[in-house]
């Protein structure tokens, strides 16, 4: 739909607030992304390509909107120059001068009122400190473009590591706050609550590592509640019996998972890079959490690291099909409640390009499209024209949205093939 079919393309910013056909975000990976109530696609920051290559700690705080109606990008705010500090203002007060610091691997949500929320990541703080984990929570009102710093610290772990303040499990408190972290999963439920799981960051003692804590934030009361999981890093998982919810069940500590929320309000997560005190590896386990019962259920996949894909026949669902272990894939949920999964990074550093669909009623995966071979280039076809042979190619850490019509959208990420690699700024649309 837009962007370049080459790696490490520069952005074209134009004039802030003005949409043009020439505007486009530069190539990047690990960006925060949202879909607003009007169906527009938004993205913020990420690890960006600079001067033809991905520089160390070149992260952005530029905010972009893609209008589906006119198919144009608008640079909304933030800087066109990387590595900018945050401007926090007064906690709880929105201001046009506020802006989160440049960052990657943050967590993002859209609430029921259409506000866009941003948490943590590897960020530059209010002091301009070199990128490190942070636990700041921000809210953006898309109608006026004003950010508000809502909770957490305005300095990152380089200045002052922020441990989690867990309080009593299940009880919200104004003093509770998740520890600074990056690469966590997020969901927004229909009651307006924001949910946060895992990532890599700081536990209750200030120890740095992988996490499996589940948090709920209530925007109405501005309070966090620790719901489940451990308040210590590198916690082991308890899988129980596949398909059976149990109070003891819990996914192990992990980061860079795929997360979905269904119409019933249940939270789903898949894979990621899992950690223990002695080992790490790629996971392909699918989990469901019921907020109504506060119980986790291991749905499918393996309880071991680095499981390989079982593809079956393309387009045909089967009980034996399963995506292999991976991290930094992206996902969508369609209007029929199917969970979709694309790409990701596998054990050994290769990248996937397959598109998968999971049907919760049948508990079956379907390999829909893409290659079963790693590290393959995309086939772009003609910009704006759908084609059966088109596909985006292997990539990880992309951005993803579902629009009101149920189409799936994919932007950028990190890519490699037999000729090399880099980051991308291509925007794709898939019609299921």
> What are the distances in angstroms from CA 10 to CA 7, 25, 58?
9, 7, 13
- Degrees to nearest 5, angle at CA 385 with 425 and 370: 65
Integer Cα distance of 218 and 109 in angstroms: 13
The tens digit of pLDDT for each residue in 370-399 reads 999 999 999 999 999 999 999 999 999 999
Contact indicator for 318, 364 with CB cutoff of 8 Å: yes
CB of 340 closer than 8 Å to CB of 356: yes
pLDDT at 57 over 70: no
For residue 380, give every residue at least 6 positions away whose Cβ sits within 8 Å of its Cβ, in sequence order, or none: 5, 390, 426
Name the residue among 368, 334, 336, 333 with its Cα closest to residue 353: 368
Q: DSSP class of residue 288?
A: E
- Give per-residue pLDDT as tens, 264-289: 999 999 999 999 878 899 999 999 99
pLDDT in the model for residue 241? 98
Query: Buried b vs exposed e over 318-352: b needs ≥16 C-beta within 10 Å?
Result: eeebbbbbbbbbbbbbeeeebbbbbbbbbbeeebb
Q: What pLDDT shows up at residue 418?
A: 67
Average pLDDT in the 94-116 region? 96
Q: CA 322 → CA 291, 316, 405, distances in Å?
A: 26, 12, 27
Per-residue model confidence as pLDDT tens digits over 323-354: 999 999 999 999 999 999 999 999 888 999 99
Could you tell me which of 365, 318, 334 has the C-alpha nearest to residue 430?
334
Alpha-carbon span 201 to 211, nearest angstrom: 7
> Is the pLDDT confidence value at 53 over 50?
no
In the structure encoding, which two tokens stand for residue 413, read together? 């990420």
Q: How far apart are CA 204 and CA 165, in angstroms?
A: 6
- φ, ψ for residue 200 (rounded to 5)? -120, 115
Instruction: Judge contact between 63 and 76, C-beta under 8 A.
Output: yes
State the average pLDDT for the chain.
Answer: 95
Q: Which residue in 138, 43, 163, 135 sits closest to 88, CA to CA?
A: 138
Lowest mean pLDDT among 9-13, 51-55, 273-277: 51-55
For residue 290, count CB atoms less than 10 angstroms from its CB and return exposed for 0-12, middle for 13-18, buried for 19 or more.
middle
pTM of the model: 0.96
Using CA atoms, how far residue 398 sits from 28, 190, 393, in Å, is: 8, 25, 12
- Over residues 144-194, the pLDDT tens digits come to 889 999 999 999 999 898 999 999 999 999 999 999 999 999 999 999 999
Q: Which two tokens stand for residue 63?
A: 């905010």
Residue with tokens 């990152």: 156
Tell me which of 93-97, 267-271, 332-336, 414-418 is least confident.
414-418
With CA atoms as reference, report the closest residue to 57 among 160, 128, 2, 147.
128
């Amino acid at each position: 739909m837009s962007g370049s079919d080459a790696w490490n393309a520069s952005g074209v910013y134009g004039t802030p607030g003005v949409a043009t056909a020439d505007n486009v975000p530069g190539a990047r990976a690990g960006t925060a992304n949202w879909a607003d109530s009007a169906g527009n696609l938004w993205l913020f920051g990420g690890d960006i390509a600079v001067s033809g290559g991905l520089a160390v700690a070149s992260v952005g705080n530029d905010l972009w909107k893609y209008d589906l109606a006119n198919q144009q990008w608008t640079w909304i705010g933030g800087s066109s120059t990387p590595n900018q500090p945050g401007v926090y203002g007064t906690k709880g007060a929105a201001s046009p001068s506020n802006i989160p610091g440049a960052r990657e691997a943050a967590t993002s949500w859209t609430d029921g009122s259409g506000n866009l929320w941003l948490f943590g990541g590897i960020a530059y703080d209010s002091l301009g400190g070199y990128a490190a984990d942070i636990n700041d929570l921000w809210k953006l009102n898309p109608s006026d473009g004003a950010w508000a710093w809502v909770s957490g610290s305005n300095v990152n772990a380089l200045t002052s590591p922020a441990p989690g303040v867990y309080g009593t499990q299940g009880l919200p408190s104004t003093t509770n706050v998740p520890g600074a972290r990056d690469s966590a999963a997020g969901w927004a439920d229909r009651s307006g609550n924001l949910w946060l799981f895992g990532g890599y960051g700081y536990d209750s003692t200030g120890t740095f590592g992988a996490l499996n804590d589940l948090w709920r934030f209530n925007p109405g009361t501005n309070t966090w509640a620790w719901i489940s999981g451990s308040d210590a890093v590198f916690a082991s998982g308890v899988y129980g019996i596949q398909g059976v919810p149990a109070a003891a069940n819990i996914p192990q500590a992990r980061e860079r998972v795929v997360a979905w929320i269904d119409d019933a309000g249940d939270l789903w997560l898949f894979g990621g890079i899992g950690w223990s005190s002695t080992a790490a590896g790629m996971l392909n386990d699918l989990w469901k959490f019921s907020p109504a019962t506060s119980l986790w259920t291991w749905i499918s996949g393996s309880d071991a690291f680095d499981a390989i894909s079982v593809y079956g026949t393309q387009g045909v669902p089967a009980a034996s099909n399963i995506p292999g272990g991976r991290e930094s894939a992206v996902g969508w949920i369609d209007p029929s409640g199917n969970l979709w999964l694309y790409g990701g990074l596998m054990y050994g550093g290769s990248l996937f390009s397959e598109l998968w669909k999971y049907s919760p009623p049948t508990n079956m995966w379907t390999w829909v499209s893409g290659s079963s071979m790693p590290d393959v280039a995309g086939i772009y076809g003609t910009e704006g024209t759908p084609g059966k042979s088109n596909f985006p190619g292997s990539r990880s850490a992309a951005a993803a949205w579902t629009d009101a019509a149920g189409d799936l959208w994919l932007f950028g990420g990190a890519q490699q093939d037999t000729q090399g690699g880099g980051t991308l700024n291509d925007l794709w649309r898939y019609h299921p």
